[in-house]
Amino acid sequence: MKMYDLINKKKNKERLSREEIEFIVKGYTEGTVPDYQMSAFLMAVCLNGMDHEETAALTVAMAHSGDLLDLSRIHGIKVDKHSTGGVGDKTSLVLGPLVASLGIPVAKMSGRGLGHTGGTIDKLESFPGFSTTITTEQFIENVNTIKMAIVGQTANLAPADKKIYALRDVTATVDNISLIASSIMSKKIASGSDVIVLDVKTGSGAFMKTLEDSLALAREMVQIGTIAGRKTYAVITDMNQPLGNAVGNTLEVIEAIDTLRGEGPEDLLEVSMTLASYMLVGAGVAKDVEEAEKLLVQKLEDGSALNKFAEFVRAQGGDSRPVFNTELFAKAGLAEAVTAPKEGYITYIHTDEVGMTSLVLGGGRETKESLIDISVGVKIHKKLGDHVTKGEALATLYANDGNKLKEAKERLLKAYVIGENKVEKPKTVYAIVTRDGITSF
């Protein structure tokens, strides 16, 4: 095979075989296919697309380009969840303990965040001593005994994806459904779980801004997962405003704990319960979503999920006392309210800008080398459709640097649009995508 011929084939809208796609991925990963040829191929894909089988072949080839997490020694059906990313998205901290408290193994590989807030690992480091650098043996033992463990991503997990994504980023070939879907799913397949539940965000703070695009991405990823032999479900959720009320690492952990106590925000609870329900259905623990929700509510009400969170933190070296007393978490030194400049209704929130406010305060990373201040962030008081009077608090900013606080305050004010007419509060969950089709809400 020659790369020239394969580029030409895709340029002419012809279908590539699994072997041809494997040749491309292997060649680029090993360096025998140069950047300029891979760039041409990626542009041909962006212009002419790939069908489901081609996309699945690309995904599997990228997943097998490096290490595969072997979960065969973990008992039971392994479940995992992936979010396409949003502001205030801390669902893993809620649904992980919830699902594990029902005896379903949650073996999760997570990364650190690059952007407005940290990733799941950064958030969990709010607990003094918590570590994700545990051995494979300890990881498997933890999942088998307490049904939950989270480790950092290995450097060699789907290396083809890492290399291809870096090239897409500089060649204007990011925004193609097949390439986006294969990038996400290659890492999920390499992570070894039997059931994959996807949280596909839509709205102003999401990668996919429109419901139509979010549904298209969800359908593609469900198809890929199904072809790859994984039970795959996608839940389309709202990101026209932050999820919950907290944006920032420790603040989000506290909100997750509040939710496990039954005292969290309704939208965070709804998204977490919906995602967790499909994990239970996929694992065969519940016959349908209604039965799954009843099981999950019971674990919230009897304290099992909260206790499981503490057990998980302890098992990975962390101080679990803050699970039962959040006053023990490290606090930011400064707190200041951002108030409404006029009376009216919250008609629009530039959700990305709320996220950037947390970044300005020090809660996120501008580069991989940036240090995160886990104590800073934003606590939101007003959301879409809410009425606000002049001088009333829209949010409270938590900071450790006065100059950063001033800049963050200006940024947050620009994120809010206050109008005269009340708008409808957005749905929290828009649709469910399975191999059998789409269910809209």
Look at the block and give the residue holding tokens 């494979």. Answer: 136
Given the residues 10, 116, 187, 201, the one annotated as active site: 187
261 is catalytic: no
Residues of 371-386 as b/e, b for ≥16 C-beta within 10 angstroms? ebbbbbbbbbbbbbee
The residue behind tokens 């606000």 is: 388
Place of tokens 């940036």: 370
Ramachandran sector of residue 386 (left: φ over 0; alpha: ψ -120 to 50; beta: rest)? beta
- Which tokens go with 300? 């919230």
Q: Where are the alpha helices (DSSP H) in 64-124?
A: 91-100, 120-124
75 is catalytic: no
Given a contact cutoff of 8 angstroms between Cβ atoms, the answer to whether 114 and 293 are in contact is no
First to last CA, the chain: 48
404 is catalytic: no
CA distance 58 to 413: 43
122, 161, 199, 238: the active-site residue:
161
Assess whether 112 carries a catalytic annotation.
no
- Amino acid identity of residue 113, one-letter, is G
**Strand-strand pairing, 79-83 and 195-202:** parallel
How far apart are the C-alpha atoms of 322 and 350, rounded to whole Å? 32
| DSSP type of residue 153 | P
Count, residues in the chain = 441
Annotated catalytic residue within 183, 193, 204, 214: 183
Q: Which amino acid is at 393?
A: A
Q: Which residue in the list 78, 82, 188, 230 is annotated as catalytic?
A: 82
Active site residue 183: yes
Which entry of 10, 78, 162, 168 is annotated as an active-site residue? 168
User: Which residues are designated catalytic?
Assistant: 82, 161, 168, 183, 187
